[in-house]
Every structure is written in C-alpha cells, then in structure tokens.
Structure 1
C-alpha cells in the first residue's frame, strides 16, 4: 500500500486487521474448556443484579446474553469478547487515521496489537478485562477526536463510555486519574474547562449510580474483595515483576511503543497528544504504588501504539515502503511463535511440549509464586469435566429419598461455577459455596443429611466429623489442571446439624 493512501483504503485496511484479530481468536475459542473466571461470570449472569463482590454488573449481563442467545459452550460465551477485542483493534486504527497516519502507521499499530501476546491472551475470555481495554481505547479516541475537531459532541460521548467502563471494571478510575493529570500537564488543560466534559461526568455517574447504591446497601463487598485480593495476590506483586510484565506483555511490540513514547514527548507533530504520554507514565506510577497486576495497564497500549506508529511513520518517510513493510514482518515474526502460549490453538499436551522446546515454560509462574508447565490461564480451563463427573458419580450413590436432603458444597468459585454449569447434563442441583459472590445467593440454611463436598484445601476435615461415613469418590488427576488433587467426598449419616457452623461462616462472609 502506498504511504499516501486514500481514506477509503485506510478504512479497508483497518477493518482487515480487525477481522484478522477476530479470526485469530475464533480459532481458539472452543479449546480446553471454560475458564475458572468464566464459570464465575456465567454464575453471575444466572443471578443478575446491580452489583457483585468482585466486579460491577456488566460482565454478568454479557454472560447472560451470550448463554441465552448463543448457547452455553466455550465458543458461545467467548464470542462477544472476541468481537470486542476486534473493536479495540478497529478503534486504535482509527486513532492512527485521525491524527494523520497512513497505511504504514496503520499496519504497524494494528499488527502490534493483533499479535501482542497480552492482547491475544486477554482478547477471547469472558472476563471484564477485554471490555475494559475497549472502553479505555475508545476514551482516548474520543478525546483525540475532540482535539482534532473541537466538536463538543465527542466530549459528551465520554459519558456513556466512562459509565459503561465503571460498570465493567473499577480499574477505569486509574486511567481517568491518569488522563486528567496528563492533560493538566500540557497546554490541552483548557479542555478541562469545557462544560460538556462535566455533563459527560454527570451522565457517567448516573450510569454507575445503581452499582454504587448496591455496594452501599450490601456494606461495600468490593472493599472486602479488594482486601482479600491484596492479602492473597497483590502483596506478592513486585516492582520488578510489574516492569517485566510491561516490557514482555506485548512481545516485540516493545520496539514500537518504547521509542514511540519518546516521540510523543519530542516530535513536533505529536505535541497536541503529549498528554497521552504523561497519562501512560502516571498510570504506571499508580499501578506500581497500588501493586497492580501487569495486565491492569493493558488498556493504555492501543492508544500508545497508535501514536507511536504515527511518530515512527513520520520519522521514516524517506525509507522505501518495501523496506519498511519488510521490517514490520520481521519485527512481528517472533510474536507468531508466542501465539500458542496466548491462544489455545494446540492440544494441551502438544502445547506443553512446544513451550518446553522454545523454553517458554521457564516463564510460567502462577499466583502461588511457583513455576509450572503451562500458563495459569490454560490450567484454569482444564479438569472441570472430570470434577463434575465425579460429583455426578457421588450424587448417583445417594438414595432417592435423601436427594432433597443433599447439598453439593464447593470450596471455591471455580468449582462451584463449573459444577453448576456443567452439571446440567447430570441434572445436579445448584451448588452451594461460600466463596466470592456465591455467598450473595447462598441459602440461609442447607440440607445436610448428605453432603457432596468438593475439597481442594483439606477443609472437609472440619465437616466430616459430623458424619458417620466419609467416602472419597475420586480425585482430579490431570496434573496440568490448577485443580489437580482436588477431592470429591460423599458424606452420609449425619450425626449432627452442621447449619450453625455454616450460618456463622455465611454471616461473616456477608459482612
């Protein structure tokens, strides 16, 4: 494509890259099974409300819509996230076009996002992060569009975008703070005097208000969740780990955004967008201070790639197009080797061999701080069918006259969500759990004559003493599963009512 490509060809190129992103994600949608967090979000969708302990309600609405319209397979629940990932590529491409970028800049930007290991890995799972990235990118686009056109309508559109972003993931507050701070540091600070911006803020607040009221009425469970998250995960995050995550998450895209960040501050054509560079640096500082996970920052990269690609195109205008496009291909080639690590395109055993062959396995550290054979995301997609089948086996052993006096209890939300979702074909009853948002709809009392206990941490010992018989039905044996070693117990012959202890824990969890 010629550097001075007409707008229609630029549009076509952008749509082609967005389509490429969608196709890549579609390849891996139905492999390995549903992810632990996806089971949780499906469960949230089955209990629609204005809020939950872990997340705002947007992901639950998407999950409910996906299951109702497309079905309950992994492919069905992941289709909308894959489309959203493609929309992020599309929006980034239009940022490039808006600031004057041509075919080379569009190609450089979109290829960097499409083949980024980080964006590949987060772009297909039914999780808030893919939607969060889209709202961030769209916010940057609207602000850049306003700066280019001075049309106030683009500021007003920030209202629904930020509002939906707040209903998706509270982390958008970080980028709001970072963007406002970045704008204050540049000559674009006069933008903050526009009344349309404050109208948009009110609109965003009104969209977010139902969730805010829900959190208040339920004694702010998100704060309890954040404390648990900090104690169990975020405290393990280190400065070096966060920085390494930023440098590695986009693969060779590092060679685009890092020099591009310098161009944002020093290239005269990028002067009106210097606030983007400041917002990136401020965001990094905020996330480091709050010990955020590396992927929390992913939403800022599409805009950074867009400006970087434009800056690189500007300083390489004299280089022949053929050489430049060849350089893009060579630059992105290593990222192709990382595709099996980001998207489950290979059978899991073959993937493990592949990771070992190219020494990717040395990078697979999970939240437990230990190194494993595969990524934690892949491990979270494996073993659920085996666990559900064991649960069904236990349920089949219970006399029919005791089925209504039986409870299936799971220790964590992944187990509860998986057996809830996959257990439909076995006609299993709803699972009870005191993990995460499952406490919100847990019954006040449970039938206790028989308990099917899904135990991954040995907590069953506190309950089995109340029963005459504790039968181990089976153990999850897939070593690649994060649930490896989880046991399914059948407890029968109740000697005492376990509800007092259950009610005490439930009450504590809801406070």
Structure 2
C-alpha cells in the first residue's frame, strides 16, 4: 500500500532535517581538538597511495582535499564529514518518501536520526565511518528505488556507489552479503538475476581494483592489520556486549526501530521490503560471529528508521494527528539530553560534570576496559598540543648545527600524526614511527646522534642502554587525555649505531 501523492512540503521537510543535522554538528566541530584517528588520516593524505595498512584510500583523499581547500583546523577537516552525515539523513528521508511516507513518517525518521547518539557521535569526525554509513544507506536506497520503479538504471548506479564504499571501508562487504542473503529469503530474489546488477558488480570491481593491486604488491597488509586488530581489540568483544550496544546506541529511538522491525516482518503492506529486515538480522549475526565492533552495524539503522517510520505511519493512520506528533516527540526528544556526550558543545570541564549527572557509565568505558571521566572520542582530542610543545622543547635543546642528526621516534600513530601535523609551527622534522601506515614511509635508516623518544608504554627502556644519557623532558599532564602521562625523552651520546635493531623492527612490520 502506498499513500496518495506526497505534498511538496514533504521534500522541504526532508531537507530541513538534513540541515538540522549539519547545524548541530557544525556547532561543535572546533571546540576540543583534532582526534587521534583524524591525525592518522591527515598523515595518509600527505602520502597519496592506492591503499594503506589499515584503511582504503578514500579517507586520505578527503583529508587532502579538506586541508588544501579549507585549512588544517579541526573545523576545516570536519566540514566534509558533517556534510556527509547530513546527506545520510537526506537519503534516509528520500527512502521514506519513495515508499510512500508522508510528513509524520518524515518527521519521526528525521528527529530520530538527528538526535541518535550513534549518529551524533560519528557524524563529524574525519573518519571512514561517516562515509561508510552514507554508502550503505545509498546502496539500500538504490535497491529500494529499483523495487518501486523497476528502472534498471538504479541497479547500474550501485556500481560506483559500492566501488566507492569499498574504497572507504572494507566493512561494506558485510552488508552486501547480508543484502544478498536477505533478497534470497524473499520474493525479491528475482532481482539477483538482472544483468544490470552484474554490470554494476563489474563497475565496482574496476573502481576497487587499484586497491586490490596495491594490497597484493604490499603482501596484503590489511590481513596483517585485521589479525592484529582481532588479537588486541576484537578478542574482547562478546555477543552480549554487541547486542547491548545495538539496543542503547540509538537511545530512545529504540522505541522506533524495534516496532518497525516487527512491522517489516508481519505487516502485509511492507512485504516487498521484508528483505531489509532479513538483511539487518543477518548483518548482526555476521558481525557477532566475526566479533565486530558494535558501530560496524550503525550504517543500516538510517534505513531501518526510515522503514519503521513508514510502518508506524501506516498503522496509526486513524489516530489523531496532533496526538501522534506529541507522543512521537515525547519518545524521541529525550535523546537531546545526551547530546553533550556525543558532540563537543560544552566546555570540557562542564561536560565532565554533566556526564556524572547522567550516570551513563557505559559510554565512559574505553578500550582499556576502565571507566574514565569522559568518552574515549573526547579523550582522543586532548593532550596533543601539550605533547608537541614538549617535543619541540626537547628539539630546541639540541645544538642547531647538530639537529640533522636527530630523529623524533614515537610509539603510536596518534602521536606520530599529531606531532607531524602540529609540529609545523615549531619547524620539527618529520617523525619516525613503526605504527600502522607510518611504517610504509619510514626511512630505511635514521639519524641517531639524538633521539627524541615519545613513549607511552615504556618501550624507551629498550633503547636507553644504547645511549650515555636519557633525560626526561616532560610528560602529558592532561588527565582527560588518552595520552596522559606519555613521556618525552631526549637520548644523547650514542654508544653504537642503533640502525641494525631499527631495520630489523622495520622489516618485521612490513612483512
């Protein structure tokens, strides 16, 4: 069943919610600082390549474009991610419109997405996730569009969309598998024999091919990265934790998508969209089996919200219109209370006090398994300026005519990216790191007369014996930072060439 023709105001309403999303994210873009992963992606953009150890190249293209045309501030690098978050909401709105939803469905879908903690948190950072979510939603939109119009061009459009999705984050393969399985389980399976679909597969493959070739030439570093990720992070993920995260990550929008999911399976008017419900459940099953992080599934929720909003509009047609809106707002607006936890709109000292008052402890646990005063995303935005200034202090202690013999060596990619990016104003040399993709452009030999060692895990103790003097210059003092107590050492008076050990470590990292 489809409602009668959609009034012009429906389209305006869709754009309104996309604009609200953009404005909400713009408010907080520059308030704290650039995050750990964002520094990495800026560094990737400074070293153009068809691939990297941890991600495909799309995020590097965005980083390079942003810095070239907008500048290198936190606000500048986040403009495009915030825009893509708004485009995701726009696309979800057009899904509602395509299947016949009117103003009420558009409204509850838009409010749910604009205030969802999951999408507030991921909608502004220079990370692949916000772009990944857009490609997922656009893929569903094109398939739904084909379902309702039977115009083959929408199947062909899947080629560039999935191709760009693969160049953004490999996780789109999970949703593609889930979609295919969902289609096979319903009457929409006949879509899978369309020749245009296979033409789209070929287009996607050709777009993705340079990255495949790069991975092959570099001995498949993505597999090494995934193995390391599995052993250090994913191993701690549990099915219970994953399911719990799905239930709480969208806050009170749970009251939208749970009934909507049931309607997808049991309401006759939604029968031709039932494959979406199957794909959602199969995606969760896949991610649980592979111990995926909870946020890997977030890209499907805008689609689920859209179909749920339409389903609820269907079953409440005879309910008083004003009453429907009042109930919807009462159920969804409480998510606004959590906004400071996911968008940096409050000064951090006030935010910490606010977090305590919310008693939302689940969001304050970091990957180390410990509870902290703020969220991990916020913790990743502090301490970098302080760290870089201490590093610059160490560099200034080296006689100017001997600085060519200096290496700034750091332990993790966040430190490397931050000091590389923020160190320009101090005229610091490029850092050396054997973390993540920094290994790809690390030099074969390093100057070793002076080593400025940025140490967060005590690894400097392995290098100290090779030097006559090890002086602690300072440590990150900001307790809200994940880099709290990271130490900066100046090693002087080498007793021997440290390059043999460095080269051995470099070779191990590149294999």
Tell me if TM exceeds 0.5.
yes
**Match of residue 333 from structure 1:** 333
- The offset of 1:326, in angstroms, is 1.0
**Which residue of the partner structure matches residue 267 of structure 2?**
267
Alignment of 1:14-413 (within 5 A): 14-361=14-361, 363-413=363-413
Equivalent residues of 1:361, 1:374 under 8 A apart: no
Equivalent position SS for 2:55: coil
Tell me the secondary structure at the aligned position of residue 463 of structure 2: helix
Deviation at 1:62, TM superposition (A): 0.3
Following TM superposition, by how much is the alpha carbon of 1:341 offset from its aligned partner in structure 2, in angstroms?
0.6
Query: What CA RMSD, in Å, does the superposition of the two structures yield over aligned residues?
Result: 0.9
Q: Against the structure 1 CA distance between its residues 199 and 362, is the aligned structure 2 distance closer, same or farther, given a 3 Å change threshold?
A: closer
Q: Unmatched 5+ residue regions in structure 2?
A: none
Question: Are 2:493 and 1:473 equivalent residues in the alignment?
Answer: no
4+ residue stretches of structure 1 with deviation over 6 A? Answer: none
Give the Cα–Cα distance (whole angstroms) in 1 for the partners of residues 421 and 4 of structure 2.
53
Task: Give the conservation status (yes or no) of the 8 Å contact 1:408–1:453.
Answer: yes
Once the 2 structures are TM-superposed, how far is the Cα of residue 359 of structure 1 from its aligned partner?
1.0
Q: Separation in 2 of the partners of 1:113 and 1:363?
A: 19
Residue 361 of structure 1 deviates from its aligned partner by 3.7
Contact 1:413 1:438 in 2 (8 A): yes
* Pairwise CA distance, 1:333: 2.2
Per-residue Cα deviation, 1:122-156 (whole angstroms, up to 9, x for no partner): 00000000000000000000000001000000000
Q: Secondary structure at the match of 2:219?
A: coil
Contact kept? 1:361, 1:373, Cα under 8 Å = no
Deviations 1:34-53 (A, max 9, x none): 00000000000000100000
Q: 1 CA distance for matches of 2:26 and 2:400?
A: 43
Q: Could you tell me how far apart the structure 2 residues matched to 1:7 and 1:190 are?
A: 33
CA contact (8 A) 2:6 2:100 kept: no
Does 176-185 or 459-468 show the bigger shift? 459-468
Once residues 454 and 328 of structure 1 are traced to their aligned partners in structure 2, the CA distance between those partners, rounded to angstroms, is: 51
Q: What is the TM-score with the length of structure 1 in the denominator?
A: 0.99
Cα deviation for residue 362 of structure 1 reads 5.2
Q: Please give the alpha-carbon distance, in whole angstroms, between the structure 1 residues aligned to 2:98 and 2:87.
A: 16
Show CA shifts across 1:10-29 (max 9, x none): 11000000000000000110
Within 2, Cα distance between the matches of 1:314 and 1:363? 35
In 1: Cα distance, 2:480 partner to 2:334 partner: 26
Aligned to 2:437: 437
Shift in Å, 1:6:
4.1
Q: CA deviation at 1:360?
A: 2.1
Q: Distance in 1 between matches of 2:4 and 2:330?
A: 23
Instruction: Judge conservation of contact 1:117–1:249 (CA < 8 Å) in 2.
Output: yes
Q: Deviations over 1:401-438 (max 9, x none)?
A: 21100000100000000000000110101010000000
- 1:408 and 1:431 in contact (8 A); partners too: yes
Q: Who is 1:451 aligned against?
A: 451
User: Would you say the 8 A contact 2:113–2:302 is kept in 1?
Assistant: yes
Give the CA deviation at 1:364: 1.3
The question of whether the paired residues in 1 share the 8 Å contact of 2:4 and 2:100 is answered with: no
8 Å Cα contact 1:91-1:141 kept in structure 2: yes
Counterpart position of 1:8: 8
The TM-score normalised by the length of structure 2 is 0.99
Secondary structure at 2:54 match in 1: coil
Supply the distance in 1 between the matched residues of 2:414 and 2:350 (Cα, whole angstroms): 25
**Does the residue aligned with 1:454 lie in a helix, a strand or coil?**
strand
Distance of 1:341 and 1:500 partners within structure 2 = 47
Which stretches in structure 1 are left out of the alignment for 5+ residues?
A: none
